[in-house]
Chain A
Amino acid sequence: MARHSSAMPADFSWIRAEPHGIHIAPAGCWIDPSRPVPRALVTHGHGDHARGGHGETIATPATLAIMELRYATRDGATPVEYGETVRLGGEVDATFIPAGHVLGSAQILLEHAGERVIVTGDYKRRADPTCPPFEVTACDVLVTEATFGLPVFCHPPVEQEIGKLTKALRDHPDRCVLVGAYALGKAQRLIAELRAAGHHAPIYLHGAMERMCQLYEDFGVGLGELRLVADHSKDDLRGAIVVCPPGALNDRWSRRLPEPITAMASGWMRVRQRARQRNVELPLVVSDHADWGELTRTIEEVNPAETWITHGREEALLRWCQLHQRRARALALVGYEDEDD
C-alpha cells in the first residue's frame, strides 16, 4: 500500500510523534498538541486533546464550539466540515472524517507525497445518537488510540446497560440514581440513549453539565427535558436520574440528593475493582472508546501497512499486531489518559 514519492523523504518522516503531540513538519502543524502551538489540528473537544492558546485551531465546527465554551476563546478558529479537505501548506492535505467518539469528533486523514496517514483521535465503532459513525478509510499508516487496548475490555450492548439503570430506578422509587458521566459526550449520549429507550421523565443535571447539554441541543441533538438539581428539592429528585461529572460522585455536592444509588457510566466499569475503588454501586459499562474487539477489527478493516499505537495500553495491542504479522509500533505521547471515560 505504501507508495513513496522519490522526491520526498521516505518512511513517513514528514509526520512525527513528539512527546507533546504529532508534528507535521512540512505544514508547520501539530495534531492535538498538549501545549500551545502556532497551528493546531484538533480531533475532538476533550481536555486531553483540545487545549486553548493556539495561534490557529483547525477543527470541525462542533469541536470549535466546544473549545470556545471551555476556553472562552475563538481566536484563529478555522472550521472544517466532515469530508472537507483543507490544504495545510507544504503539500500536506488534511481531511476530517467522523470518528464516532463524541459530537464533532474526527479522524484526520493527512496526505503528502502520495502517502496517507490517519490519526484516529479517540473513536468507537458502535452507534451513538449524538454523533455520526466512524468511517473506515484506507491509509498507509493508522495512528490508533488504545485506551481500552486489553482483551478483557468488551463493552456490552448499550441497551443492556441502560436497562440496568432504569431497573435500579424502578426498584428504588424513593431514591435517585446518581450517574457519574464525563461532562462532554458521555453525559449527552447517556441521556440520548435513555430517551431512545423510552425514558421521557425529566433528567436532573449537576450545574457543570448544563451548558454542554445546551450546546448539543444547539447542534441538533435532542436531549428531552433537563432540569438543574440546584433548582429542586430533595423530594423532587426521588425516583429520578441525576447526572453529574465523575468527580462529583463522592463530593459534598451529593449530600443534597435523596439516598443516591451511585452509578458510573464508563468503560472502566468492566473491571470490578475499578468500580469498587470509586465507590460505585451500579457500574454501567458504557464507553465512547473502542473496546478490544473494535480496535482489532478496525486495524483489520483499515488494513494499513503500519499501525502506530498511542495513549492507552499500547503493549497488548502491539502484541496483537505482532501475532497477526502486522507492522506496528507504540508512540510515547504525554498527557493522554482518560480515567473518566
Chain B
Amino acid sequence: MEEFAALVDALVYTRSRNEKLRLIAEYLRETPDPDRGWALAALTDCLSFAAVKGSTIRNLMMERVDPVLWVLSRDFVGDTAETASLLWPEPEGDVSAPPSVTEAVDSLGRMTRVSVMSELPRLLDRLDANGRFALIKLATGGMRIGVSARLAKTAFGQAFEVAVEDVEEYWHGLQPPYEALFAWAAEGAAPPDSGDVPLFRPFMLAHPLEDAVVDLADYVAEWKWDGIRVQIVHAGGETRLYSRTGDDISGSFPEMAGALTFPAVLDGELLVRGSHQGGETGGAASFNALQQRLGRKTVSARMLVDYPAFVRLYDVLIIEGEDLRERPWNERRARLEALIPRLPPERFDLSAVVEAEHFEHLAEIRASARDDAIEGLMLKRRDSPYVAGRKTGLWYKWKRDPLLVDCVLMYAQRGNGKRSSFYSDYTFGCWDGDPAAGAELLPVGKAYFGFTDEELKQIDRYVRNHTVNRFGPVRETDRSLVFEVAFDSVHASKRHKSGLAMRFPRISRIRWDKPAEEADHIEALRALIRD
C-alpha cells in the first residue's frame, strides 16, 4: 500500500502527461501481481465496494473527532478523504505492518455495512496519512487524480512495450486484477481469450487533410456527422455502446440496447433525431441536442421521446464471428450495406457516400455544408483495412473552414507544465451592443492554443503590462487586445452569461492592429447559432 500511496501522491502533484505515464509505468513494472492489477483498477475507477460510502467515512470520523472541528477542517481542506486521512488519530502502541493493496481490496470486499465500522478503522490504523488518503480514495471510488482510462492504458503499453491498441482490446474483456493481461504483456504469454463478450475494439482514426488533394478514384467521401463516434457491439446476448475512448455508455442510451440482436461490431456516429444536419432527409439534430443525453446515469421516458438516439453507420468490423478488419473498405462497405435491412430503421441508418465527380467538385459540396451544420467530410481510401489508430494515407478528415469572430481579451490565466510561467489561457468577449454607447464585453469563450511559442511570449508580455486586476493565477486585462478566434460552430447555452457556447475555439490571429471597439458584437455570434 505504501508504494501505491506514493504513486497516488506523485500523480496528484504531477501535471506533465509524460511524467504521469512514467510514474504509472514504473509502478506497473516494479509491483508484483496481483497488487499492480488492483492498483490499475483503482486508478481507472474500476473498483467499487458496496459497504463503503462517502457517509461511512464521515460517520467513522464523527466517532473520533469533535463534529465542529470536523466541519471546520473539511471546509478548509475541501476533500473528505484528505480531511479524514489527516485527522485520523494515530493509534497507540504497536500496529501491524501496512496492508498490501491486495489485502486491503480483499478486506474491503468482505466488509458489510455493519462490519465496516470496525474493520475499516483497523486498516486505517496500519497506515500513515498518505496511505490513509490512498486507501479511502480506493475504497470510496473516484480517485480524481487526473488519470483517464486512456492514460492508464498508454502507461501500461509503455511499461511493457506493447501496442496501446492491443492493450485496449484485451483489457476490455477482463476483470481486475487483470493477471492474464500482465502475463501477456510482461511475460509474453498468449493474449487473454476475449471469449463471447461484447468487447470494445480500438477505433480507426483519421488525419487532417490540411492542404493535400486526393484522387477520388482511390478515395471515397462521406459526411463527417456532428455527433459522437461510437462502436456498438453485440456478443453473448448482450449489446454495448462504446465511446471513442472505450467508455461504456450503454447506460445513457438504453434504446440502443435492444437494437442490435446478432453478433457484430459496428462503427458509426451516435446522433439524435432532428433536422439540423442534412435537412429533413438527413434526420439528425445538432450536437447540442445530443448533449442533453450525454453523461446521464438514468434516462427519463421524456428524454427518450424528446431526444431519440440512433446510430448512423460508417463501418463494420466483425459480423457473426467473421473479422473483416483486414478486408478493404470497399468490401466492408458492401457487407455493411447488406446488413442494413436486418437492422431496425428507427435506430440505424447508413452514412451515405458523397458522390462527386472530382476533387474540385467535392470541395464545392463541402463549402455548401455550412448550412447543414455538418462537421465536414471524411475521405477514406477504398482499399483501406480497418486498423486501430491513425495510419498515414488511409483516412483523412476534411473539416469545413472554421467560423471566425473578432473578440477582445478579457482575462488571462497562467498555464501548466512548460507554460507554467506564461499567461497562456485566455478568456475573451464580444460587445453586447455599441461600445460607443456604453455597451459591455461579455465573455464568449476560452482558448489556450492556436498561437506560436513566440506569439505566446508576446501575449504574455502584453498581459503583464495591461493588467488591471489579479485573482490568484488569473489576471484581468484592460481589454485592449483583439484576437481573431476560429471555431467550428456555436450553440445556445444556459450555462454562460452570453447565452452561447463555441465549439473548439482557438486563436487564429492576434490583431495587434485592431482597436478593441471594432471587435464583433455578440449579435454576430448569435446569428450563427443553428440549434
Contacts and interface: CB of A to CB of B under 8 A. Distances in A.
B420 A279 contact: yes
A273 B68 CA distance: 22
A221 to B, nearest CB: 31
Interface stretch (A15-23, A46-54, A75-83, A247-255): A247-255
Interface stretch (A101-109, A150-158, A195-203): A150-158
B66 interface: yes
A272 B12 contact: yes
A151 B61 CA distance: 13
Interface in B188-238: none
Contact of B69 (A276, A277, A319): A319
Interface stretch (B74-82, B298-306, B333-341): B74-82
Interface stretch (A28-36, A228-236, A280-288): A280-288
Contact of B78 (A255, A273, A283, A313): A273
Given A152-B77, A271-B82, A319 B421 contact: no
A151 B421 contact: no
B13 A316 contact: no
B239 interface: no
Nearest to B84: A152
Contacts of A262: 420
Given A151-B65, A271-B82, A315 B77 contact: no
Nearest to A320: B69
A136 B519 CA distance: 66
Interface residues of A, number: 28
Contact of B416 (A252, A255, A279): A279
A154 B77 contact: no
B47 to A, nearest CB: 21
A270 B77 CA distance: 10
A10 to B, nearest CB: 31
Contact of B87 (A152, A250, A273): A152
B86 A152 contact: yes
B86 A283 contact: no
B73 A254 contact: no
B146 to A, nearest CB: 10
Interface string A260-279: 00100000001111011101
B72 interface: yes
A279 B77 contact: no
Interface string B389-425: 0000000000000000000000000101000110000
A255 B245 CA distance: 36
B83 interface: yes
B99 to A, nearest CB: 22
**A255, A279, A280, A315: residue with the most chain B Cβ atoms closer than 10 Å:** A279
Given A250-B414, A279-B420, 11 more contacts: A150-B72, A151-B69, A152-B83, A154-B86, A250-B421, A251-B421, A262-B420, A271-B76, A271-B77, A272-B12, A320-B69
Interface of B: 12-15, 65-66, 68-69, 72-73, 76-79, 82-83, 86-87, 129, 414, 416, 420-421, 460, 472-473
6 contacts: A150-B76, A154-B129, A250-B414, A252-B421, A277-B473, A316-B72
